[in-house]
Amino acid sequence: MEKVYIFDTTLRDGEQAPGFSMTSEEKLQMALQLARLGVDVLEAGFAAASKGDYEAVKLIAQEVKGPVICSLARALEKDIDLAAEALAPAERKRIHTFIATSEIHMRYKLRMSPQDVLERAKRAVSYARRYTDDVEFSCEDATRSQREFLYRVIEEAIKAGATVINIPDTVGYSVPEEFAQLIEDIRNNVPNIDKVIISVHCHDDLGLAVANSLMAVKHGARQVECTINGIGERAGNAALEEVVMALKVRKDFFGDLYTSINTKEIYKTSRLLCRITGSFVQPNKAIVGDNAFSHESGIHQHGVLSNPLTYEIMNPEDVGFPSSRIILGKHSGRHALKKKLQQMGIEVSEAELERIFEKFKELADKKKEIYDEDLEALVYEEVMKLPDDQPVSVLHYQVQTGDKLLPTATVVIRYMGQERTATATGNGPVDAVIKAIQKALDLDTKLLDFSIKALTPNTDAQAEARLVIELDGVRSSGRGVDVDIIKASVVGFVDAVNRALLRKSYILSKDRIREEGTV
């Protein structure tokens, strides 16, 4: 049996996608779950990118036990110093340094000659080795690099002390057969390549990230860099859940390879990321999408009832997908609620359960049946909400609308401890109320995306509003849920604004928010 190491980069490359940035606390929450999932290496960030990223890497290095904690660093001593400093508290640490090796990147981006890039790569690796004996080197844009030069850079990086050599398909340009051949060629042409682990890092610009990663594994790569739900720069990275389950389900094809991932934690991890980022996967997403194990058509249903294997190539429970149905309503108690949450992949403390239970009973008095989506919304509100002393809160709002009325909203908000009132009109009641809040805030908030949907198919359903905003160049998403669509929109908008303000100010923990009072 040979192990394939899973290097998770949800918190670094994943976070590079617009709308996916997370606060340090959210990153820590995610990192703790990734450790429970069993990832081998957790790339916690890029310490030199910002004070916030540095602090997040440090916090994760302090708090998260199990995986090797890693930070990315350019091939620059100052980046490597910051990575090492942030990683210092980790039990096991890795510095991941990189430089581009393709002609186009060297000429136009780095403005360096190939010889200079080679020297820089050597220096960066040996410099990083002063801090740790676990150093990964990546040749950015490897798939568009000139072969002989690529071999040479890898050879020198190994001589300088790299222990993992990563081959990124940075722009998602490669196709599976070609990528497999590249791995073969590197194995056959680079001296001492067998002394290091070959890693791959594939992007999904052509929808081939997972296929390329798997073919690389088939041809000798033993580390795969991937992200939960496949998030990442542009079209994203290889989805961890897809890579891991393909290796597990298709042992007949891949041979005796295994990963240390506890697959039963996959669904829970995916949903946690969705709740944190406010960005949900499409229903038909492999492994973790709502429809991944659903059967709608009669012939399929008949087949599955006779034998699930007729239409299911894996057991939903193997990825922690909730399967059995407990119907929750106003007569349900804490045991059923807790069981249901566990089936949905949500672990809560006793204190959190109490808070959710109270809200659940309130909702159950208004609704006949509480669906999974309702519960998920409650958890988001109660467990994942921002600290109480948020920069912005809505104290009161009033909206007038009707078929012969211009929708008009008046809001009273508190911002930085100060009460402000504003009135605005809009194309509809939601437009009016959001405009009134924007006016009262007097900040540069742009609404980039807005959607509202009923969580369940009834007129008493809760409405879920999802918004993406940009505040002074910082993107963030927010979510609000209520039986009243205007309130859901108000809550979602204010949630997005508070998250943007927190990110913008690098406020790192609830304690610091309390110390500083406001942002």
Residues forming contacts to ligand ACO in the complex (CB under 6 A) are: 13, 16, 46, 48-50, 74-76, 98-99, 109-110, 140, 170, 233
15: three-class secondary structure by DSSP: helix
d(Cα 457, Cα 463) in Å, to the nearest integer?
Answer: 10
Q: Does the footprint of ligand KIV cover residue 382 (CB under 6 A)?
A: no
**From the list ligand ACO, ligand KIV, none, which binds 166 (C-beta under 5 to 8 Å, kind-based)?**
ligand KIV
Nearer to ligand ACO, 170 or 174 (CB): 170
Is residue 13 marked as binding? yes
CB of 59 to ligand KIV, least distance (A): 22
Strand locations in 313-462 (E): 392-402, 405-415, 418-425, 445-454
Three-state SS letters, 435-447: HHHHHHHCCCEEE
The residue among 449, 435, 440, 513 whose CA lies nearest residue 478 is: 449
Nearer to ligand KIV, 138 or 277 (CB): 138
Is residue 201 marked as binding? yes
Nearer to ligand KIV, 143 or 462 (CB): 143
How many helices (H) and strands (E) the chain has is answered by 18, 16
d(Cα 234, Cα 225) in Å, to the nearest integer?
Answer: 16
**One of 7, 98, 149, 357 touching ligand KIV (CB under 6 A):** 98
Nearer to ligand KIV, 93 or 203 (CB): 203
Q: Which amino acid is at 409?
A: A
Q: Does the footprint of ligand KIV cover residue 94 (CB under 6 A)?
A: no
Rounded to 5 degrees, what are φ and ψ at 195?
Answer: -85, -10
49: three-class secondary structure by DSSP: coil
Which distant-in-sequence residues (6+ apart) come within 8 Å of 464 by Cβ?
373, 377, 452, 453, 454, 455, 479, 480, 481, 488
Which distant-in-sequence residues (6+ apart) come within 8 Å of 473 by Cβ?
none
CB of 166 to ligand KIV, least distance (A): 6
**From the list ligand ACO, ligand KIV, none, which binds 110 (C-beta under 5 to 8 Å, kind-based)?**
ligand ACO
Nearer to ligand KIV, 168 or 429 (CB): 168
Q: Are 39 and 282 in contact (CB under 8 A)?
A: no
168: three-class secondary structure by DSSP: strand
The residue among 192, 261, 199, 175 whose CA lies nearest residue 70 is: 199
The residue among 73, 50, 54 whose CA lies nearest residue 62 is: 54
Q: Does the footprint of ligand KIV cover residue 140 (CB under 6 A)?
A: yes
Q: Does the footprint of ligand KIV cover residue 201 (CB under 6 A)?
A: yes
**From the list ligand KIV, ligand ACO, none, which binds 280 (C-beta under 5 to 8 Å, kind-based)?**
none
Tokens standing for 37? 């999932």
CB of 508 to ligand ACO, least distance (A): 17
Element spanning 3, H or E: strand 2-3
Q: Does the footprint of ligand KIV cover residue 45 (CB under 6 A)?
A: no
Of 164-172, 282-290, 368-376, 404-412, the segment contacting ligand KIV by CB under 6 A is 164-172
Nearer to ligand KIV, 222 or 300 (CB): 222
Nearer to ligand KIV, 45 or 429 (CB): 45
Give binding residues for Mn(2+) as ranges: 13, 201, 203, 237
Q: Which residues bind ligand KIV (CB under 6 A)?
A: 13, 72, 98, 138, 140, 166, 168, 170, 201, 203
